[in-house]
Amino acid sequence: MAERSFTCQVEALRLGAGAEFRGEGIHAVTKALLQSGVAYVGGYQGSPVSHLMDVLADAQPLLEELGVYFEPSTSEATAAAMLAASIHYPLRGAVTWKSTVGTNVASDALANLASAGVTGGVLLVLGEDYGEGSSIMQERTHAFAMKSQMWLLDPRPTLPAIVRAVEQGFELSEASHTPVLLMLRVRACHVYGRFIASANRPPPLTARAALAAPAHDPRRIILPPATFDQEQAKIRERLPAAQRFIVERGLNETCPGTVPHIGIILQGGLHNSVLRALELLGCADAFGHSAVPMHVLNVTWPLVADEIRRFCAGRRAVLVVEEGQPEFIEQALCRVLSGMECPPQLVGKGPLPAAGEYTTEILRAGIREFLHSHAPELLAGAGALPAASTLAPEQRERLAALVPARPSGLCTGCPERPLFAALKLLQRERGPLHISADIGCHSFATLPPFSLGASIMGYGLGTASAAAFGGAGPGRTVAVMGDGGFWHNGLTSGIGNSVFNRHDVLTIIVDNNYSAATGGQDLPSSRHAAPQRDANHPIAAAVRGVGVRWIRRADPYDISATLATLRTALTASQRGPKVIVAAGECQLSRQRRVRPQFERARASRQRVVRARFGVDPDLCTGDRSCVRLSGCPALTVREPDDPLRTDPVTTVTDDCVGCGVCGEIAHAAVLCPSFYQLGVVHNPTRYERWLARVRGALIGVLQRRSVRRRRRRDV
């Protein structure tokens, strides 16, 4: 069950030659793959390329018509190894994942693939998650491309440019026998636009047909002495072939301006932002015409020295717009320009910051500084830059203290909330524990209000990151991983390693039924998987299969029982790894599944009951342990109705999904009678309607009598 349905996008994938395609950037990539005659596609979901996997999953009937094989891989390494099909056979293959974390996982397979070379075109669509909206460490793909000699495309963020990059990426790969990386920033994946479609092309050779003549070539095997020849081929044959293709097909673009003595060399993915910055400075118009000449690197690796020298010839200064660090492109340009008789002054990091995302405001300030030094006449009509802040430093500090930070958090009704609340309660009893966290929704538990977790090392590496404490003694070390991380890497790198080395570590596996953090995709353990998936394989069985003997299940919504299970695990006399599988379905995915069923039942006049929870303001003491231990967005505070009370009371908003966790936590922490549960009945029976009228009448009589007594007392 994916986060969204892509029925409309799937229909757009059927558009023929000459039709206009409208949609997001990542949907244009999907259409371009089918237009390019791709034979197989794989990958692992992750922002901002999850939609590519989800659209292809919904487009399975179309893929079968075209003869395209598609599978959601269990990890990025699995997807990268899939590309081995293109080493010997003229099969076009594509994979996708979130970089750089995905590229790191797949690095072994990618390095071997780049060494062996490919016959069929290979394209890797990487969602570059760098900058202010990133959810990972701040690293770039560029270093990996240079290290393994794989060509890196960074196209202008417009749909025609992205589609052209996909189609030419396959051709570049085949012309140079080298895998090609297509880097798409978050904004490029979600940019909306249109392009003129081409007809979908069935692959000239399918994977099934390729097996009719199995191939073997020892020169393509990653063993000496073949590896030495492969290394030489990268430099002597593949690199020159790639550079010739880049020049002949015009992959990079030069935009002539009106000022001949300066220029800008930029990454293609930053083209829109640079144009907007120039427009704000009065040096470009809304249609993309710039007074400053620009050389747009839609291919950021390899660079073509002759192209660079031609653009720089006769200029006094050139600004290099390269996002992030180290400044690989700037360093390479310095080397290229050192051979010129009169090289221009190369300006890059300095006016532009060394690290961080290049937003429009940052580019505006940096380009303004460059123009002020080298072409001040262009700034004659430009206004002054707005001040970064009109507040004094002490005012900003006071404002920061009044307005709390809003870190990422778990969703309303998430089954992980009560689990981490139970861990907090356990630490009240036993003292602090070392908790190794993991990537996934549960990583939010490292933030308030839970503040649990000392490190996050990688997807599925929660248990492995506690390995150094495995022999420190029982009862002090806890590791957490999700079901997505477990199937991705955790079973072998975490649980298997823990068994092999006899770690006395408790691992809590959060089983929420989906790869929830990446959009709700199916897993091998999903109980509601799509019909074409072989799922419903219990995590406990897999854990038992690698040798874990102490295994327990827990229902996170039953906090008292979960707390008891945690106590037992940390005090058990049995040595060795212990595993608790905390199973509770992801509430977002559950609501997507249950709400349509509920609405259909209500529309068909069936009796349905919806649970709602509330807080009695007359009984609420203002302790708010329910809020501190849960942090649920549906819990907040409001002013009391009683004028004699000054402290706010807790209340439950309409966002409540009826999980009951807030009341459970309050009772587990300190007995709290203020929570109550209601059953909202839709399409009640005749008896229930009659009973509701009787109750209403009786309550009305009692209320009126109470009012009369109060009036007599006041008199």
Note whether residue 171 is domain-resident: yes
Q: Quick one: pLDDT band at residue 390, thresholds 50, 70, 90?
A: low
The residues, any chain, with a CB within 8 Å of residue 573's CB and separated by 6 or more, are none
Residue 665 pLDDT greater than 70, yes or no: no
Q: Say whether pTM exceeds 0.95.
A: no
Domain containing residue 614: CATH number: 3.30.70.20
> For residue 309, what pLDDT is reported?
95
Domain containing residue 97: CATH number: 3.40.50.970
Are residues 537 and 423 part of one domain?
A: yes
| 317 torsion bin: left (phi>0), alpha (psi -120 to 50), beta (else) | beta
Mean pLDDT of the chain: 89
Q: Report whether the peptide linkage leading into residue 179 is cis, meaning its omega lies within 30 degrees of zero.
A: no
Could you give phi then psi for residue 668, rounded to 5 degrees? -70, -35
Q: Quick one: pLDDT band at residue 670, thresholds 50, 70, 90?
A: low
Are residues 174 and 76 part of one domain?
A: yes
Domain containing residue 331: CATH number: 3.40.50.920
* Domain hosting residue 212, numbered range: 9-248
Q: What is the CA radius of gyration of the chain?
A: 30
- In order, the DSSP letters of 580-592 are EEEE---HHHHHH
Q: Which residues pair with 455 in a beta bridge?
A: 436
Least trusted range by pLDDT, from 43-47, 53-57, 652-656: 652-656
* Cα-based distances in Å from 579 to 479, 510, 639: 9, 11, 44
Question: Which tens digit of pLDDT belongs to each residue from 283-327?
Answer: 998 888 999 999 999 999 999 999 999 999 999 999 999 998 899
Single out the residue of 18, 17, 98, 96 nearest to residue 57, CA to CA: 96
Note whether residue 510 is domain-resident: yes
Question: Span 402-426, mean pLDDT?
Answer: 83
Q: Ranked by mean pLDDT, which of 378-392, 408-422, 516-530 comes out on top?
A: 408-422
Contacts from 20-24 at CB under 8 Å and sequence distance 24+? 20/194, 20/195, 20/196, 20/197, 21/159, 21/194, 21/195, 21/196, 21/197, 22/192, 22/193, 22/194, 23/159, 23/192, 23/194, 24/51, 24/189, 24/190, 24/191, 24/192
Whether the Cβ atoms of residue 628 and residue 449 lie closer than 8 Å to each other = yes
How many Å apart are CA 496 and CA 464, to the nearest integer? Answer: 10
Are residues 334 and 441 part of one domain?
A: no
Are residues 218 and 79 part of one domain?
A: yes
Note whether residue 121 is domain-resident: yes
Question: Span 198-227, mean pLDDT?
Answer: 90
Residue 491 pLDDT greater than 90, yes or no: yes
Q: Is 309 exposed, middle or buried (0-12, 13-18, 19+ CB in 10 A)?
A: middle
Residue 36 pLDDT greater than 60, yes or no: yes
Are residues 524 and 420 part of one domain?
A: yes
Are residues 573 and 494 part of one domain?
A: yes
Domains: count for the chain: 5
Note whether residue 711 is domain-resident: yes
Are residues 701 and 665 part of one domain?
A: no
Question: Span 591-596, mean pLDDT?
Answer: 85
Whether the Cβ atoms of residue 370 and residue 362 lie closer than 8 Å to each other = no
Question: Which token pair is 672?
Answer: 């709290």
Name residue 395's amino acid. Answer: Q
Question: Which tens digit of pLDDT belongs to each residue from 240-298?
Answer: 999 999 999 999 999 998 999 999 999 999 999 999 999 999 999 888 899 999 999 99
Which of 354, 379, 404 is the endpoint of a domain? Answer: 379
Question: Which tens digit of pLDDT belongs to each residue from 114-151?
Answer: 999 999 999 999 998 887 777 777 888 999 999 999 99
Are residues 26 and 74 part of one domain?
A: yes
Which of 248, 282, 304 is the endpoint of a domain? Answer: 248
Question: Which token pair is 568?
Answer: 């037992």
Name residue 601's amino acid. Answer: A
Q: Quick one: pLDDT band at residue 389, thresholds 50, 70, 90?
A: low
Q: Quick one: pLDDT band at residue 404, thresholds 50, 70, 90?
A: low
Are residues 698 and 630 part of one domain?
A: no
Are residues 72 and 50 part of one domain?
A: yes
Are residues 234 and 136 part of one domain?
A: yes
Alpha-carbon dihedral angle through residues 551, 556, 561, 565, given to the nearest 10 degrees: 30
Strands (DSSP E) along 506-557, which ranges? 506-511, 550-554
Are residues 689 and 677 part of one domain?
A: no
How many Å apart are CA 357 and CA 130, to the nearest integer? Answer: 7
